[in-house]
Chain A
Amino acid sequence: AQSVSQHNHHVILSEAASLELGCNYSYGGTVNLFWYVQYPGQHLQLLLKYFSGDPLVKGIKGFEAEFIKSKFSFNLRKPSVQWSDTAEYFCAPLDTGRRALTFGSGTRLQVQP
């Protein structure tokens, strides 16, 4: 079964700081990877996804993630965060057998103005 680990549970940054959130997954086969964001009081929104091809994927709102197969990682990055990026971020690999997502524990990002 697929498992996923998000190492940073709570991150506090100042505006304009750079962000990197770690995500490691366990599955060694074909993997589809997603990052979702949940703003306070809102529902989950898709940030970006990786299926194949260029391992550096760009998403909405200036976010990007890099798939490193050798490290089983799919870290999320943003060069300069804004206060509006305050949210919960979830990494979710797709179990290609069941076609179901496995969610990481989430990282709460707090950006201070």
Chain B
Amino acid sequence: GAVVSQHPSWVICKSGTSVKIECRSLDFQATTMFWYRQFPKQSLMLMATSNEGSKATYEQGVEKDKFLINHASLTLSTLTVTSAHPEDSSFYICSARTTSGRRDTQYFGPGTRLTVL
């Protein structure tokens, strides 16, 4: 149990285009999902907290107009990188939080590698 999927697993896009990444909790409901960014050989940096039915909470330094987050249901959160530029190239990872029977635990998706040309 506690499986989180992400789609797509990788994407290559041209500079200036927008890219949408989906994060789904497959066997549990998640009122809260998190979006992280991981640079090569570095740790995960929290970008934002996605709350079902309300606005996301962004970490300091993360542009909310550039990284649009929508958490439309208890099993789906999306991250849209708008007007992507090469510096946005990174590995984006989501996690879904569960408190049902497993205490407060986050399960992670496999990540999405974004390359902006």
Number of B positions contacting A (CB below 8 A): 23
Number of A positions contacting B (CB below 8 A): 22
Q: How far is the CB of B114 from chain A (nearest CB, A)?
A: 16
Q: How far is the CB of B45 from chain A (nearest CB, A)?
A: 8
Q: How far does the alpha carbon of A67 sit from the alpha carbon of B63 in the complex, in Å?
A: 36
Q: How far does the alpha carbon of A36 sit from the alpha carbon of B111 in the complex, in Å?
A: 15
- When the two chains form the complex, which single residue of A32, A46, A102, A103 contacts B107, counting CB atoms closer than 8 Å? A46
Question: In the complex where A32-B103, A99-B32, A100-B49 touch, is A44 in contact with B108 (Cβ < 8 A)?
Answer: yes
Q: How far does the alpha carbon of A46 sit from the alpha carbon of B108 in the complex, in Å?
A: 9
Q: Is the CB of B110 within 8 A of A99?
A: no
Q: How far is the CB of A17 from chain B (nearest CB, A)?
A: 23
Q: CB of B21 within 8 A of chain A?
A: no
Q: CB of A87 within 8 A of chain B?
A: no
Q: Is the CB of B108 within 8 A of A94?
A: no
| A46 CB contacts on chain B under 8 angstroms | 105, 107
Seen from chain A, the residues whose Cβ lies within 8 Å of a Cβ on chain B are 32, 34, 36, 42-46, 49, 51, 90, 94, 98-106, 108
